[in-house]
Structure 1
Amino acid sequence: MTTARPPRRHRPARRLPATFAGATAGLLAVGLGATPAGAEPGAGTPLGTVARTAGHARFVPGPCPRTADPVPVLDEAHCGTLTVPENRSRPKGRKITLSVAIVPAATRRQASDPIVWFAGGPGDDAVSEAQLAIDGGLNRDRDVIFMSQRGTYSADPALLCPNIDEFNAKVVGLVYDAPSTGALHVRATRTCRDQVTSRTPDRAAYNTTESAADYADLRVALGIRRWNVFGISYGTDLALTYMRTHPQGVRSVGIDGVLPPSLAGGAVTWKAAREGFDGLFAACAQETACNRRYPHLSATFDRLVSKLEAHPVTTTVTVPSQSRPVKVVLDGGALVTWLTSATHVAAGVPRSIDELAHGNPQRIAEQWAGGKVSPQAVGRVAHGLAYGVFCGEWTPYESQSDVIRAGHRLFPTYPRSVVANAPQLPFLQADCRAWNVPAQPPAVRSVVRSDIPTLVMSAGFDAQTASSNGPYVARTLSRPTVVEVPYVAHVAFAESPCAQSITTSFFDSPTHADTSCLAGLHPPQFEIAP
């Protein structure tokens, strides 16, 4: 699922990076000696320091890649590139390269089975997320491997489409749900399609199935007998696909912010919104001070959605990255999509909703605009990969009517114009008609059945991927550990020390993860306006 970016105000110290500021990682000289595929590296030979060929794929050591933000941990990494066929149905055809960074374990007595990180999005860059993973302790006693998914920032070609980000910045000044905004949305998608086609004639090759095969090739090319997988957000869709198509050599899998391939699409975003909103509203209702100051918060929010959809509010806000005030229009759809990300800053949400209800939209408008109009939001996400996933794997298997029915069922008071646009994925069916790639085979929607030990982790305030997706996935896994971390939003590992502790304990012992820290968690201390 496209990882919606959290509002910039009141942002927690540990978060999945919303944007990546430009910098070049430190270079690390490594050897180039060749080793035959399938041979184990010599004793004491660090991962990523030997060139190797595996079938039609080849890993070559080299400098760490350029990243959009400084990533200090790459100074310690072994890096290189994996070259793979762009389209495996034509293995001798065009090749693409994927950047690889391997951060060594923090201890000398490391486990022999590393962890490979699957980034979200679709379209986020795994190498740029290395600091997040290492700050969370993932390399405590294992090497951690980061490889850019095809099309992403540190891959070649990089299918970024900055025009989409620039358009998203303009949307804050437009009526979000208006047909005229939809027409502009599709126009931006066509421009992106043309940009991607100029980089590669085979945009349909940028999909989850090919990405899963890339990782299977990486494991063999690095000479790894067994490894562990950890995926976040859309990376859970990729991880589940990988479990189904390439289970060989996988010791265990962790997934956080679960998006099952069999459910992925616009309709499931309404379920995520319902569960995330309800979790936050319930936490406020259970806290005496919050409930007293902001009673009936859920009903207030629903009323505001309908009110703003009928009569959008226009204001201006000051954004640090802009020299002039920014015009912001809030309608019902914008308000819903704002809250899907604002659960990341849950402590301030009741106050923001209450201020809007009393005629002051500034806090919400600042958050709605803040991340979108920042120059740091431009040119970071691989929209070419995102549309490949959306349009080849999701929209062929659901209709616009499916999205509307899900919205009406879960939010019966919302106007049709609001439920017609799935949270995070507005105008997606029209966009995909413009993107024009063939549907992937129905197998991409298969329920995943596996006996690989799997940590299935969700978050109680997650309004982007439903917490109930975790138990849904676990039904067909024979050795799952199902965890819901309360009071945090999408991707619990990114902001919860408890989630980080559970994750590292799981990789230590995949059938006996230590979840005792859950008992000590408490709801946020909600902001109470004077």
Structure 2
Amino acid sequence: MTRIFIIIGFVILLSVSCKNQNKIHFTPTFTESKETTHEIPKGQEYTFGYLEVLENRDKPEGKKIKLPIYIFKSRSKNPNLDPILYTVGGPGYTSMRASKYMKYYKYLDDRDFILFEQRGTQYAKPSLDCPEWAKAVYESNLLDFDSSDADSLFQKAATFCSERLRENEVDLNNYTTNQIAADINDLMNVLGIDEYNLLTMSYSTKIAQVLIRDYPDKIRSVVMDSPLPLEVNYDEESVANLLEALDKLLSDCEKDPDCNDAFPNIKSRFLKYLEEKTKYPLEVIVENPNNGEPETFYLKGKDLINVFTSASTGSVPNIPLEINKILNNDLTSVKKQLQSLFNEPGNGIGIGMRLSVWCAEEYPFNSQEKITNETNKYPEVKGLSPSVFDDGICEIWGVKKVSDIENKAVNSDIPVLLISGEYDEETPVKWATSMSNHLTNSYHLIFKGWKHGPTTNWGNPCAMQTANDFFNNPTRKPNSACLEEIKSPEFKTVE
């Protein structure tokens, strides 16, 4: 009997071995193309092409997707051999728009620069666009829209978009951060790059964290601009973060003699005003640019705080002045913003990818009780939901929850530079501070008076210069000369 079992066992092993030899394997490829996503200015050397990878890595015989890639050649005659790979935030934004502006990117002074498009975004094939969602946003802003129908409107949009994408054989479960990280690792292998640097911002800092956790071998250094930690549940605290950032800016105004003289007690007055308008909405009449007819809006605190959230770093010095104008019933800026609501709906570029990421990676880890409390906790902006997408939307989108490890902090000794804007309400300073405890070779720089995305502040390229200095020497904290020149903002007190 023993001999029979041995023979049977050998036959089974032989059969398994033969099956493994016949198993289909897939090798990612990079194919150059003369048809680019954008017209590149003359004088810039580059290679453009598409990385082809599996949509589902568990199905080597399955669908292939294509991701556009630019490889921009360094301006140096003797560039460093470790390129920088850059991909932007969102999730859902395209990285390709940056391709037109490479002459402004200081990184090319020292090394090649790779621009990477994430799967599902605008120029990827496929692109997970949701024009249905864009139309719903447009309709929800119309004056005759009943706000009680909002949930139904967006749920229908999510239903139509998900059904259309699935009918086009898109597997929505495979448009996640860890799949994007695997795409980047595939690209490095295909290009034969032994060592590279990562430049990431906002959402794409999550991609960086997954890369240094799962594929660390080739990574020399990482810059995370406005970092979003894996372990943070964004939706649970976004309203608190907004109010904390506003408090910081208005407190700084009150500490500034000129600002405080021009706008005394502006913080308490503005917060009281927001609370009052939440109870008794502000009536604002604007001209509809499409037909010239007057339209009436009723704005609450959660709407009027847009004077802060819509501001960029360049307009930070104007924020107290703009708030004071609202307090004095000068609604010029408010009306200008309201008129933009009449613009025709877009095509919902990247919304499907955003939904897949958020519904697989953020929504499953949220406490709905905390979100409800956050929505109603602050009388100044009561009713302002902290959620990027309501729970009903993610139920409709129907993607699988990612592994619990995707909601845990990453520990690494790879050199990392964390960059924060002091007034960033989207990815607050405290998040980067917390991350530095897990990244043992990290440095954290806070740009005073700046908001989200310091490395893309075209009015002052100091953060970009600092990031480039770090890439050139990631073993020490950057000490760029421009850093000494960045002080608290000089708030404007008159037009």
- When normalised by structure 2's length, the TM-score is 0.86
Question: Residue 46 of structure 1 aligns with which residue?
Answer: none
For residues 460-479 of structure 1, the aligned pairs below 5 Å read: 460-479=422-441
Q: Measured at CA, do residues 97 and 172 of structure 1 come closer, stay the same or move farther in structure 2, by a change above 3 Å?
A: same
Question: Residue 56 of structure 1 aligns with which residue?
Answer: 27
Task: Please state whether the residue corresponding to 1:240 is helix, strand or coil.
Answer: helix
Structure 2 residue 52 is matched with structure 1 residue 79: no
Question: Residue 492 of structure 2 aligns with which residue?
Answer: 527
Structure 2 residue 459 is matched with structure 1 residue 517: no
Structure 2 residue 457 is matched with structure 1 residue 501: no
Counterpart code for 1:128:
R
Query: 76-85 or 280-289, which moves further after superposition?
Result: 280-289
From 383, 390, 403, the counterpart of 1:417: 383
Shift of 1:329: 4.5
Shift of 1:87: 1.0
Question: Residue 385 of structure 1 aligns with which residue?
Answer: 353
Task: Please state whether the residue corresponding to 1:251 is helix, strand or coil.
Answer: strand
Tell me if the contact between 2:286 and 2:294 (Cα under 8 Å) persists in the aligned partners. yes
Tell me if the contact between 2:44 and 2:73 (Cα under 8 Å) persists in the aligned partners. no
Structure 2 residue 190 is matched with structure 1 residue 221: yes
Distance of 2:91 and 2:331 partners within structure 1: 31
Tell me if the contact between 1:313 and 1:330 (Cα under 8 Å) persists in the aligned partners. yes
> Percent identical across equivalent pairs?
25
Query: 359-368 or 90-99, which moves further after superposition?
Result: 359-368
Distance of 1:528 and 1:232 partners within structure 2: 32
Question: Residue 357 of structure 1 aligns with which residue?
Answer: 327
Shift of 1:343: 4.8
Tell me if the contact between 2:94 and 2:123 (Cα under 8 Å) persists in the aligned partners. yes
Tell me if the contact between 2:198 and 2:208 (Cα under 8 Å) persists in the aligned partners. yes
Q: Which has the higher helix share?
A: 2
Task: Please state whether the residue corresponding to 1:82 is helix, strand or coil.
Answer: strand
Shift of 1:55: 5.2
For residues 216-255 of structure 1, the aligned pairs below 5 Å read: 216-255=185-224
Structure 2 residue 451 is matched with structure 1 residue 489: yes
Counterpart code for 1:358:
N
Task: Please state whether the residue corresponding to 1:139 is helix, strand or coil.
Answer: helix
Task: Please state whether the residue corresponding to 1:56 is helix, strand or coil.
Answer: coil
Shift of 1:147: 1.6
Task: Please state whether the residue corresponding to 2:227 is helix, strand or coil.
Answer: coil
Tell me if the contact between 2:139 and 2:145 (Cα under 8 Å) persists in the aligned partners. no
Question: Residue 403 of structure 1 aligns with which residue?
Answer: 371
Question: What residue ranges of structure 2 are gaps of 5+ in the alignment?
Answer: 1-24
For residues 257-296 of structure 1, the aligned pairs below 5 Å read: 257-296=226-265
Shift of 1:416: 4.4
Summarize deviations over 1:410-464 as a string: whole Å, max 9, x none.
x64346423xx01xx4552222122121211111112010111000110012111
Q: Measured at CA, do residues 452 and 489 of structure 1 come closer, stay the same or move farther in structure 2, by a change above 3 Å?
A: same
Distance of 1:131 and 1:312 partners within structure 2: 44
Shift of 1:62: 0.9
Tell me if the contact between 2:26 and 2:60 (Cα under 8 Å) persists in the aligned partners. no
Shift of 1:179: 3.7
Distance of 2:270 and 2:323 partners within structure 1: 7
Q: Measured at CA, do residues 351 and 198 of structure 1 come closer, stay the same or move farther in structure 2, by a change above 3 Å?
A: farther
Shift of 1:159: 0.9
Distance of 1:177 and 1:453 partners within structure 2: 52
Q: Measured at CA, do residues 319 and 471 of structure 1 come closer, stay the same or move farther in structure 2, by a change above 3 Å?
A: farther
From 409, 413, 418, the counterpart of 1:456: 418
Shift of 1:314: 4.1
Shift of 1:273: 1.1
Q: Measured at CA, do residues 492 and 168 of structure 1 come closer, stay the same or move farther in structure 2, by a change above 3 Å?
A: same
Tell me if the contact between 2:421 and 2:448 (Cα under 8 Å) persists in the aligned partners. yes
Tell me if the contact between 1:64 and 1:78 (Cα under 8 Å) persists in the aligned partners. no
Distance of 1:469 and 1:359 partners within structure 2: 36
Q: Measured at CA, do residues 481 and 397 of structure 1 come closer, stay the same or move farther in structure 2, by a change above 3 Å?
A: same
Shift of 1:185: 2.8
Counterpart code for 2:330:
N
CA RMSD of aligned residues (A): 2.7
Summarize deviations over 1:61-89 as a string: whole Å, max 9, x none.
1125335xx65479632100001000112
Query: 232-241 or 277-286, which moves further after superposition?
Result: 277-286
Distance of 1:346 and 1:511 partners within structure 2: 33
Question: Residue 14 of structure 2 aligns with which residue?
Answer: none
Tell me if the contact between 1:115 and 1:142 (Cα under 8 Å) persists in the aligned partners. yes
Q: Measured at CA, do residues 415 and 175 of structure 1 come closer, stay the same or move farther in structure 2, by a change above 3 Å?
A: farther
Tell me if the contact between 1:258 and 1:470 (Cα under 8 Å) persists in the aligned partners. yes
Distance of 1:184 and 1:112 partners within structure 2: 52
**RCO higher in structure (CA 8 A, sep ≥6):** 1
Counterpart code for 1:56:
T
Shift of 1:162: 2.6
Distance of 2:211 and 2:106 partners within structure 1: 24
Distance of 2:29 and 2:306 partners within structure 1: 42
Task: Please state whether the residue corresponding to 1:468 is helix, strand or coil.
Answer: helix
- When normalised by structure 1's length, the TM-score is 0.81
Tell me if the contact between 1:189 and 1:431 (Cα under 8 Å) persists in the aligned partners. yes
Tell me if the contact between 1:343 and 1:349 (Cα under 8 Å) persists in the aligned partners. no
Q: Measured at CA, do residues 165 and 140 of structure 1 come closer, stay the same or move farther in structure 2, by a change above 3 Å?
A: farther
Tell me if the contact between 2:117 and 2:123 (Cα under 8 Å) persists in the aligned partners. yes
Distance of 1:171 and 1:240 partners within structure 2: 36
